Structures are given as C-alpha cells and as structure tokens.
Chain A
C-alpha cells in the first residue's frame, strides 16, 4: 500500500549566496556578533588572524540579539564589507 510522506516541498530560497572572494588582500572583513558569550571576542581574534595572513583589514563590527533576525539597517551597513564573519552558539 501507499502512504504520503509528511514533509512537503521546500520553498524557494529567498537569498542566494554571494560569490566567494578569490583573494582577501585589500578587502574589508566585517563582524556580526550575535551576542552569545565570547562571540565578539572569538570573531574579533579570527578576523585579526585572517587579516594578518591575507592583507585584509578589519572593520565594521555590528552586534545583534541571537534570538532575532538581523535588522535591515544593520545588514545594509555590513554589506559594505566584502567578507563577514558570524555564527556562534552557546
């Protein structure tokens, strides 16, 4: 006999991923700190290490609440960076 699968379709992705930068030399690295413990410190150190190795610069540090989507004006400011580091859990 036949039964339905329960999951249904997946909706179209609203946002496509940006093309990866071929080199970071001269580019700006942004940080989106989601306010989880030590996220800002960890991302700052990662960005600084990446900048030393690649010739990029670190700028544009933004902070948001982990439980809510980032506001549009915050994303607009971060969009001026070519690379953004984010993501931290408990």
Chain B
C-alpha cells in the first residue's frame, strides 16, 4: 500500500481558490480546478472494485506512484465523472509501458503530447464523442479525461514545464488530448482488435503532435484522398523525417473511410499505400538532419533514392474519427516512442 495522500486546508472550495492554492505549490494547469474533497474523491472511486491505494504505475521523471486514489484526485480536479475513471486507469497503464518511453516524452524539447484514444463499449456508455468535433471542444468526457491525464503527467509524473518538461514552445495538446474511435462508422471494425487487443473496451496512447488536417471534397478514388495524407506526412518539420521507426496515426473521417471501403480497400491496404506514397528524397533528408535515427540499410541508400518516411507500413495506424464532412488528419509521432493499446478493466 502506498503512503496516505497529503491533505491541504483551504478556506473555500471555489474552483479559482483551488487553482490559486495549487499554483502556489507549482501544481495545476492554469485553469480553475474542482476541489478534490474526500467526498468527491470517494464518489469517484465508488464503482472501483480494486484497492484504491495499490500502485497502478510509477511515472517518470518524478517516479510518482499512480494509485487509483491519486488518479481519482486528478480526475475530480479535471471535472471527470466516475464512469471516466476506468479509462484513466487504463491510460496510466498504457503510459507506463516501456515502448511509450514516457521519460523521453515528458522531458524532450519537442511539443509531444500523449493522445488518448478510447475504443469500444465504454466510449458509448461513458459518453465519449467519436463523431462531429471529436477532437473538441464541447464534450465533457473527451475534455475532462484528456485534461485529467495531463494533470496526472504534471502532478504524478512531474512533467512540469522547466522542471520535468523541456518543451521549447509547449503546445495546446498539452492541455487536453482525448478522442474516441468512431466504431459505428468504421468499415474495418475496431482499431484495438486490429492490433490484437480483443477487449470490449480499450484505450490507445500515441505520443505525437497535434493533428494536421487534410481535406478532399471531390474524390471517390482512395488514391486521390490518400495522396493528400501522404503529402501531410512528408514534412521536414516532423520528427518522422529523422526518426525512421516513428509511427503515424491517420485519423480518417467516416466519408473518407467509406470511399476507401467502397473501392475495396482494407485498413492494411490504406497503410501500405501511404507507406509507398509518403516518400522523400534521401539526400534532402540527409541535408536537413545531421542527427538521424535510421536503420543501417537506410543510411546505405544513395542521395537520389526515395525513402518512405517510416520504415514499415505497420507504423501507419488507421482509425476512423469524426462526423459528417471531408476532413481527416495526420498525427505525426515524437519519434522515439511507440503507441500502446491496453484493455479497459471496468
């Protein structure tokens, strides 16, 4: 069992008072906070069947112990409801997976933020928005769960700008970054099952940039739509350029996904096509980056050779998100990290 949590005396439970009390101690995200009173935290934990003081994960760089109670405190602060807690617990488990490389994600000068993607039944039962405006704003579950995850990174992991987060410019995705998969309009079934997590509900954490939009209003041909995605992927400005093992998350809107499916394209074919089309000239990449994390065979290529911006089609992840309209997005990776998908235990 972890040590009991510290308690603070405060004159008022006004959100502004909690924010100011916390800010004096270097805590909070700058916005008003819901007071984490014992009553509210107990209510957050009421449906939790596991030991609330059992460590779920230890998060770097602070080596903070994330118990369900600590997670619940941060959930209350962010405005979560109790039905969001299992998603947060799963997200913390995912963050602690070694392939995420959370120490690097938190400490880098890059503006990387963990994107939390909610899959399956809990996206519906707990009120997450997979449809119109899924990346926000407006939905309580998406907004509050993403914010709670950032508060856990600030408070438990110690990813405080200047102390545990060296991000040169920071970024808006570091306030809240949570979305649900649009399973109902995915022609290829759920993403989690496609990567071997056959759970009723699951979450994926991908540590990347904010979404880069691409639109196609006119095409029925998947190639024409996806060429625009490939264009967004081939940028010297993203870390995928110097890091060849980095992933891309390509968030297709339902209409773009339907166009691919109507033409008989599977999720894997979409990824393979993007892998073939998202290429850059090796000499241009070499000229731009003295420091590269490429495979040896890539270093051996001639300057005039063309090279995919990620080593393998498996690094290109296809998920259906959003509502009506023809806008999709590409989410480049920080690079030295891999996404993790884990089940949600309800």
Chain A residues engaging chain B, CB cutoff 8 angstroms: 1-11, 13, 35, 37, 65, 67-69, 89-90
Known pairs A67-B335, A68-B104; A6 contacts B22 (CB<8 A):
yes
User: Are A10 and B9 closer than 8 Å at their CB atoms?
Assistant: no
Q: B108 within 8 Å of A by Cβ?
A: yes
Q: CA separation between A10 and B41, bound complex, in Å?
A: 20
Chain B residues with a Cβ closer than 8 Å to the other chain, count: 47
Within 8 A of A (CB), among B94-128: 101, 103-104, 108-109
Known pairs A6-B70, A8-B2; A67 contacts B104 (CB<8 A):
yes
Q: Per-residue CB proximity of B152-172 to A under 8 Å, as 1/0? A: 000110000000001000000
User: Are B13 and A6 closer than 8 Å at their CB atoms?
Assistant: no
B25 CB to closest chain A CB, in angstroms? 8
Known pairs A1-B13, A13-B63, A65-B336; A8 contacts B155 (CB<8 A):
yes
User: Are B36 and A69 closer than 8 Å at their CB atoms?
Assistant: no
Q: B238 within 8 Å of A by Cβ?
A: no
Q: Out of B2, B3, B27, B101, name the residue touching A6 (CB < 8 Å).
A: B27
With a CB–CB cut-off of 8 A, which chain A residues contact B21? 3
Closest 4 CB pairs of A and B: A67-B336, A8-B70, A5-B6, A6-B155
With a CB–CB cut-off of 8 A, which chain B residues contact A89? 109, 166
Q: CA separation between A47 and B35, bound complex, in Å?
A: 52
Q: B10 within 8 Å of A by Cβ?
A: yes
Q: B38 within 8 Å of A by Cβ?
A: yes
Chain B residues engaging chain A, CB cutoff 8 angstroms: 2-3, 5-13, 18, 21-22, 25, 27, 35-38, 41, 55, 58, 62-67, 70, 73-74, 77, 101, 103-104, 108-109, 151, 155-156, 166, 290-291, 293, 335-336
With a CB–CB cut-off of 8 A, which chain A residues contact B73? 4-6
Classify the interface of chain A: helix, strand, loop or mixed: loop
User: Are A1 and B66 closer than 8 Å at their CB atoms?
Assistant: no
Known pairs A65-B336, A67-B336, A68-B104; A3 contacts B293 (CB<8 A):
no
Q: Give B62's nearest chain A residue, CB to CB.
A: A10
With a CB–CB cut-off of 8 A, which chain A residues contact B2? 8-9
Known: A3-B36, A5-B27, A89-B166. 4 other contacts (CB 8 A): A1-B9, A5-B6, A8-B64, A11-B55
Known pairs A2-B38, A3-B10; A65 contacts B65 (CB<8 A):
no
Q: CA separation between A39 and B218, bound complex, in Å?
A: 51
Q: CA separation between A69 and B335, bound complex, in Å?
A: 14
With a CB–CB cut-off of 8 A, which chain A residues contact B64? 7-11
Q: Out of B8, B25, B62, name the residue touching A2 (CB < 8 Å).
A: B8
Known pairs A9-B2, A11-B65, A89-B166; A3 contacts B156 (CB<8 A):
no
User: Are A9 and B37 closer than 8 Å at their CB atoms?
Assistant: no
